[in-house]
Amino acid sequence: MKPNPKLAELDPEIANALDGESRRQESTLTLIASENHTYREVLETSGSVLTDKYAEGYPSRRYYAGQRFYDEIETLAIERARKCFRAEHANVQPLSGSPMNQAVYFGLLEPGDTILAMDLTHGGHLTHGAPASHMGRIFNFVRYRTRGNRGDIDFDEVRKLAHQESPKMVLCGHSSYPRELDYAAFKRIADEIGAITVADVSHIGGLIAGNALENPLDHGFDLLTTTTHKTLRGPRGGLIACKNEFAQKIDKSVFPGLQGGPHMHQVAGIAVAIRKADTPEFRRYSEQVLLNARVLAESLKAHGVPLITGGTENHLLVLDVAQYVGADGATIQDRLEAAGLICNKQLIPDDSRPAGRPSGVRLGTPAVTTRGMREPEMRRIAALVCRVLDNQAPQAVSQEVVDLARRFPVVH
């Protein structure tokens, strides 16, 4: 989308940056698993008059007057979220993924309580108690890992840790794990010790909404958290779905416990995105995201690129680039960006390298699938990636990337 001419007149520096970003997105391929291209309708809500007003509180329980339409919007978002994720209750106010998870921790636990979660280097997320996060200092996180070439979660270890540490909460979810999660196994272990079950499905929330992946709430989980961009293609935000027994604590934890006024332009965008998710077109999109990821993985393997877990069962894959002479994840990320292939460096299990220069690179298919790309384009992208990995000059690849990108313009 081109910036408004009035913006260009008022603030040409910002207008030029917006225009530059639009052109960058059009001429490159977004392969970052946590990024996507949102709907034009979501952009319209994000830049609407809904930014003008405070709406502290919840529908019919606000602290300011003039809330008729804000109540309508949030009620629609809540009801659509409940239906979409088959949940008894939903809160659509979290400003993003980190405060979303923090609201769950603070709402249901006490500082110092133990949480069993996935190790960051084995695919977990920063908010799942990584030592660098504030949550890692406030709560006692015990971490489980994966094992073997297929990257199976070691449920013997999970059960052992659960009985040894008696966590109040068992948390599953990931930011860099290319496998489907066995929610039933997590639930059985949590039930043995009476722990609350939480699934952070931020990466795959849209694929769950599109019925392409399993829904942890269908397996009896107590709570589900998800960001609303990524595979759901909404605005940047967070959503908590849970059983009724946790509803009051969650709502109080979000507001007034952690946040003030919600961003109602964001809530409206969430409502729009969830409505979009409740369509046959979105279900087909979700299936295509998974198919594209599998084809991309198979094509890279055919070129000799080693993949963590040997492939993928969701929307992302992780390349082990340690075999490439003089390379690390940061170097490969920069070289791919120079070619117009936008990805991110990534730690791999038991990585011997630091987080700033890890041994892996993470790729994902949501954004290129949004642009309409299918299996033939995945094979071509794999070939382009491999040419960069094999030390071909990125400039020799970049024009081919531009040509491919132009054939599949960004929708908005």
Is 56 catalytic? The answer is yes
Q: Are residues 161 and 222 in the same domain?
A: yes
* Residue 3: per-residue pLDDT: 64
What's the CA gap between 321 and 277, in Å, rounded?
35
The whole-model pTM stands at 0.95
Q: Among 277, 296, 327, where does a domain finish?
A: 277
Phi, psi of 316 (to 5 degrees): -130, 160
* Residue 13: per-residue pLDDT: 96
Q: What's the CATH number where 177 sits? A: 3.40.640.10
What value does the mean pLDDT take over residues 387-392?
94
Is there a domain that residue 298 lies in?
A: yes
Is 152 catalytic? The answer is no
Q: Across the chain, what does the average pLDDT equal? A: 95
Given 200, 222, 313, 328, the catalytic residue: 200
Q: Residue 82 — very low, low, confident or very high, per pLDDT cuts 50/70/90?
A: very high
Q: Are residues 298 and 361 in the same domain?
A: yes
Burial 149-185 (b: 16+ CB within 10 A, else e): eebebebeebbebbeeeebbbbbbbbbbbbbebebee
Is 54 catalytic? The answer is yes
Q: Residue 2 — very low, low, confident or very high, per pLDDT cuts 50/70/90?
A: low
Residue type present at position 38? T
39-76 residue pLDDT tens: 999 999 999 999 999 999 999 999 999 999 999 999 99
Given 230, 335, 345, 371, the catalytic residue: 230
Number of structural domains the chain divides into: 2
What value does the mean pLDDT take over residues 297-301?
98
Given 114, 127, 227, 312, the catalytic residue: 227
Q: Residue 347 — very low, low, confident or very high, per pLDDT cuts 50/70/90?
A: very high
Given 44, 56, 375, 400, the catalytic residue: 56
Kindly tell me if the per-residue pLDDT of 5 is higher than 90: no
Helix (H) or strand (E) holding 122: none
Given 53, 159, 236, 301, the catalytic residue: 236
As a whole-number percent, the residues of the chain with pLDDT over 70 amount to 99
Question: Which range of residues forms the domain containing residue 222?
Answer: 44-277
Is there a domain that residue 55 lies in?
A: yes
Kindly tell me if the per-residue pLDDT of 412 is higher than 80: no
Is 41 catalytic? The answer is no
What's the CA gap between 317 and 354, in Å, rounded?
20
Strand pairing partners for 318? 362
What value does the mean pLDDT take over residues 77-82?
98
Is 243 catalytic? The answer is no
What value does the mean pLDDT take over residues 205-233?
98
Q: Among 277, 299, 322, where does a domain finish?
A: 277
